[in-house]
Structure 1
Amino acid sequence: MRTGIALHEARVRYGPLEALHGVTLAAPAPGLTVLLGRNGSGRTTVLRALAGTARLTSGTVTWDGTDVTRLTAHDRARRGLCFVPDGQAVFGHLTVAENLSLSTPAPDITPALDAYPELRPLLPRPAGTLSGGEQRMLALSRALLTAGAGVILIDEPTQGMSPTVATRTYDLLIALSTRAAPTCVLTAEQRLPPGLRERADRTAVVVHELRRGEVVFSGEASELSRPGPQA
């Protein structure tokens, strides 16, 4: 597997506090990579650094071997990077249908509704009135519809979802990461999602665990011999 997107000796500061202490990690393309870490570990900052919404104090971001550190978040998005942040990741004043239509130049939003049929009866509703889990389904559906996305970064993709929908979500992400086009899918979680360790014999899942702004483990999910960090 070739490297899709990577950080090299990355440091990020928020005022006087340093959130990342020289982090080096890579997410392959195609492939699924999971960042593990409890709140405050730096996993969200890693996603923001890769997306370009958090400026590096030092270090570099490379994408397919090219240094993109100086590219703005907008330029990275235009190049094919899709970032689904934690929390508010939909346009609350627009309907569910309008949110989905913004994500694809084609009028057909059927793939999103096939992935999450729960959204079909909600199409006329303003997205801001949905539950947390429904908003995550909508945000992920928009990512699935994004044309030409080469890198998809998702912070806590299954937050607020039922266990059944959460399992389906990771099935969708694995399918997305293993399709013919070289898509790099990188998620951030507090613990390893159920079933990923067992599926590692069929699908290589890369895991990076962070603690206090440093990488303490890098390898495949099958090599992670203990449960992920608890909240």
Structure 2
Amino acid sequence: MRGTGIELRDARVHYGPLEALHGITLSAPTTALTVLLGRNGAGRTTALRALAGTVPLSAGTVVRDGRDITHQQAHERAAQGLCFIPDRAAVFPSLTVAENLDLAAGDNARALDAYPELRPLLSRRAGTLSGGEQRMLAVSRALLTNAGVILVDEPTQGMSPATATRTYALLESLDACVVLAEQRLPPGLREGAGRTAIVHVLRRGEVVFSGEPGELNPARSRYAPE
């Protein structure tokens, strides 16, 4: 495993007058699969964007492998091996599937082995794909970039259950710090199978639980309750 991981420390984020994160602290060690769990509006997507650098902190710090990267721009973090896959606009719609894969600068065969459904679509423009196909293409970036930190917002949105299960297994197997933002706890994590997992439940911009999936109240495994 590479590095020690990525953290938010006392992080606050504002969208205009609205404070979306209220001084939260959470860590995502490289040795674990980290899940940011919460309903829409809970702050999980904002936390992921703060780690990626696509939204600035109004207070607090972002720390990667013990270094303060708070003031690094998103493109600088990407150049240093951070891969961010947002929930929307995660592919280049006017480019073909093959061209999207080429931009990841990895071995396309690895992505196509993981998602053989993409093979007959290589000449198609990404914008014409279904939602699940676009997510497969987007997640392929995580397989191809050899990034040390991989942040994915709702990786299996629109996928069939079988493809979603395969996707979680792929992300879990990566030699990287992997952080997922989800509304529901991914299947299999509660049972403790495979890689160690850490869950941070967010509600209204605050962390209300941090721990292992087995410690999580079942009522919170879908989302942070009101």
Q: TM-score range by the shorter chain?
A: over 0.9
| Whole-angstrom CA distance in 1 between matches of 2:150 and 2:26 | 16
Paired residue secondary structure (1:21): strand
Shift of 1:100: 0.3
| Whole-angstrom CA distance in 1 between matches of 2:93 and 2:196 | 36
Paired residue secondary structure (2:168): helix
Shift of 1:162: 0.6
| Whole-angstrom CA distance in 1 between matches of 2:27 and 2:115 | 30
**Residue identity matched to 2:37:** L
**Residue identity matched to 2:112:** L
| Whole-angstrom CA distance in 2 between matches of 1:31 and 1:217 | 17
What runs of 5+ residues in structure 1 fail to find an aligned partner? none
**Residue identity matched to 2:222:** G
Shift of 1:30: 3.1
Query: Are the equivalent residues in 2 in contact too, given 1:51–1:73 (CA < 8 A)?
Result: yes
| Whole-angstrom CA distance in 2 between matches of 1:146 and 1:73 | 16
Shift of 1:201: 4.8
Query: Are the equivalent residues in 1 in contact too, given 2:21–2:206 (CA < 8 A)?
Result: yes
The aligned counterpart of 1:8 is: 9
Q: For the structure 1 residues 24 and 230, does the alpha-carbon distance in structure 2 shift closer, same or farther, using more than 3 Å as the test?
A: closer
| Whole-angstrom CA distance in 1 between matches of 2:103 and 2:88 | 19
Q: Render the CA deviation track for 1:52-103: whole Å, top value 9, x for unaligned.
A: 0111010000000100001110110001000000111001111000100110
Q: Is it true that 1:24 corresponds to 2:25 in the alignment? A: yes
Q: Percent identity, aligned pairs only?
A: 69
Shift of 1:31: 2.3
The aligned counterpart of 1:192 is: 185
The aligned counterpart of 1:211 is: 203
**Residue identity matched to 1:55:** P
| Whole-angstrom CA distance in 2 between matches of 1:6 and 1:219 | 15
**Residue identity matched to 1:203:** R
Q: What does 1:118-197 correspond to in 2, within 5 Å? A: 118-147=117-146, 149-176=147-174, 179=175, 183-197=176-190
RMSD of Structure 2 on Structure 1 (CA): 1.5
Q: For the structure 1 residues 5 and 16, does the alpha-carbon distance in structure 2 shift closer, same or farther, using more than 3 Å as the test?
A: same
Deviating 4+ runs (over 6 angstroms): none
| Whole-angstrom CA distance in 1 between matches of 2:211 and 2:180 | 15
Query: Are the equivalent residues in 1 in contact too, given 2:37–2:224 (CA < 8 A)?
Result: no
Paired residue secondary structure (1:196): coil
Give the count of matched residue pairs: 222
Q: What's the TM-score once normalised by structure 1's chain length?
A: 0.92
